Amino acid sequence: MRILALFVCVFLLNTTILAQYENDAFQSLNLSLSSRQAVLNQPLSIYDGDVENGINNPSMLNDEMYNKLSLNFVDYFSDINFISASYAFPLKQFGTIGVSVKSIGYGEFTQTDYTSQNLGNFNANEQIVSLGVSKRLSEKWVLGANLKTLFSNFESYQSTAIASDLALAYTDVKNNFFMSLIAKNYGRQLSTYASEKEDLPFHLDFGVSKRLEHLPFLFSLGYKNIERWDLTNPYDDTNSNLSPAPFSEKGFGAKLFRHIDLGGELSIGKRIQLRMGYNPRRRQELKLNSYLGMVGFSWGVGIKLSHFTINYGRSTYHLHGSPNYFSFITDFSKFYKKR
């Protein structure tokens, strides 16, 4: 318990000094490219063989992920597409290593001058390379850390940044109960787009998960952005014409539920998994009062076929459209015999 108390004190102190908000640069560090992660609202404390859990939270890296390869593709809005690959392997006599490469393509744009004369086309993209490691401190406590490098290219403007995550997890495998606290995106911009340095989107998150004993159901709950209590729209009082009605809710309950997200996964036999998630903040900020729809909800399915797992997910951000997530996972160790 003294380890957990020290961890909490150190990072609560850091957030008091370094907490940043939504106007920070490199928001792509917070994007989820895994189908399962996106549907369940990036759960922090799911402890199983899914390597993407360890990429999102390094304290979840474990020996069940050894030799697991995860490939992801996201059909985002407009011409924006994401692809990523993740892999985990053991570090002898230490713990588990997780490696991830992400590429974000924002599409092709038309370049014009101030007279609207066409000057050609240009592209915008970002790449993120991360390396994570976990170390078991005791039977139930695990410490994990990530190091991430981001390369950003917008037309003739380039920037690089380096960020780190530090996480502590409590793992009660016998009772299928897990919880974790993680400080994400602590770092700095190495080179700027122009001349002014920008902050990274640092935040502190907490999550718990529980797999039920008499029902094949996994439940996860997250409390995000601990470093900032009020996540409501700061411009609501100054420019009501630009702010829809949902932003006007600034009571205790509205502020509390903007921090919370939920996810659930039901296993049907050994080959099918049904998933659903709910993000109250997304629903409050992006819904329309005239028609609520399924904004803030997400759903997905996973199917295991021999040595492969195929996941599909859909997350409703707005009535105009929803991103589609596709994931392909395989275990390399199944394709060769140990000597």
Full DSSP string of 16-38: HHH---TT-S-GGGG---SHHHH
Q: Which two tokens stand for residue 6?
A: 């020290």
User: CB–CB of 277/222 below 8 Å?
Assistant: no
276-293 per-residue burial string, b: 16 or more CB within 10 A, e: under 16: bbbbbbbbbbbbeeeeee
> CA-CA distance, 317 to 338, in Å (whole number)?
46
> What is the pLDDT, as a whole number, of residue 249?
57
| Percentage of the chain exceeding pLDDT 90 | 59
Rounded to whole angstroms, the Cα distance separating 67 from 338 reads 13
Report the C-alpha gap between 124 and 103 in whole angstroms: 11
CB atoms within 10 A of CB 324: 16
What is the extent of the structural domain holding 209?
2-335
Give the three-class secondary structure for 233.
Answer: coil
Which of 148-152, 222-226, 251-255, 269-273 has the lowest average pLDDT?
251-255
Mean pLDDT, range 67-85, rounded to an integer:
92
126-141: average pLDDT: 95
- What is the pTM for the complete model shown? 0.85
Under the banding of pLDDT at 50, 70 and 90, the label for residue 46 is very high
Mean pLDDT within 203-220 = 95
Binning the chain into helix, strand and coil, the percentages to the nearest 5 are 20, 50, 35
User: What's the one-letter identity of residue 269?
Assistant: G
pLDDT in tens, 80-128: 899 999 999 998 878 899 999 999 999 888 888 888 888 888 889 999 9
The tens digit of pLDDT for each residue in 107-116 reads 888 888 888 8
Name the residue with higher pLDDT: 128 or 293. Answer: 128
In this prediction, residues 30-38 reach a mean pLDDT of 92
pLDDT of residue 7: 44
CA distance 36 to 309: 11
**Of 287, 178, 305, 281, the residue nearest 228 (C-alpha):** 281
Q: How large is the average pLDDT for residues 231-244?
A: 54
pLDDT at residue number 62: 93
One-letter amino acid of 104: I
Tell me which H or E stretch contains 16: helix 2-18
CATH of the domain at 60: 2.40.160
Q: Which residue did the predictor score with more confidence, 305 or 8?
A: 305
Comparing 188-192, 218-222, 238-242, which segment has the lowest mean pLDDT?
Answer: 238-242
Strands 157-172 and 177-191: antiparallel
Domain count, the chain: 1
| Residue 107, token pair as written in the block | 């599409």
Mean pLDDT of all residues in the chain? 86
pLDDT reading at 172 higher than 60: yes
Query: What would the two tokens of residue 312 be?
Result: 């599909």
User: DSSP 3-state assignment of 290?
Assistant: coil
**Chain centroid to CA 80: how far?**
17
The H-or-E segment that residue 145 falls in is strand 141-154
If one compares 171 and 9, the residue with the highest pLDDT of the two is 171
Q: Once rounded to an integer, what is the mean pLDDT over residues 164-183?
A: 96
Average of pLDDT values for 231-238? 62
Summarize the confidence of residues 128-132 as an average pLDDT.
96
Residue 126, pLDDT score: 95
Determine the pLDDT at residue 131: 97
Q: Measuring CA to CA, how many Å separate 57 from each of 54, 60, 164?
A: 5, 6, 11
Residue 14 has pLDDT above 60, yes or no: no
Does the pLDDT at position 164 exceed 90? yes
The pLDDT value recorded for residue 23 is 60
Given a cut of 50, whether residue 58 has pLDDT beyond it is yes
